[in-house]
Amino acid sequence: MFSTGQLIFAICFAIVFITVIIYTYRKDLKLHKQHYKGTIWVLLAFISFIGLIAAIKYIYK
């Protein structure tokens, strides 16, 4: 399905991409903690809202 070159490129790309993402996140971790306090509540509200919609859909099926 894929050639050997394509597989090697995909593996190398994935490794480099994940490494850069981890490095960038760790570098900005202090700023994230300072500027994004309380975002977990937004995430929980969003998940609860989606769950509520799914429950309503299931009940009125």
Nearest-angstrom CA–CA distance, 53 and 59:
10
Q: What is the pLDDT of residue 36?
A: 86
- Length in residues, the chain: 61
30-58 pLDDT, tens per residue?
888 888 888 889 999 999 999 999 999 99
Pull the structure tokens for residue 13: 């790309």
Q: Is the pLDDT of residue 18 over 90?
A: yes
Mean pLDDT of the chain: 93
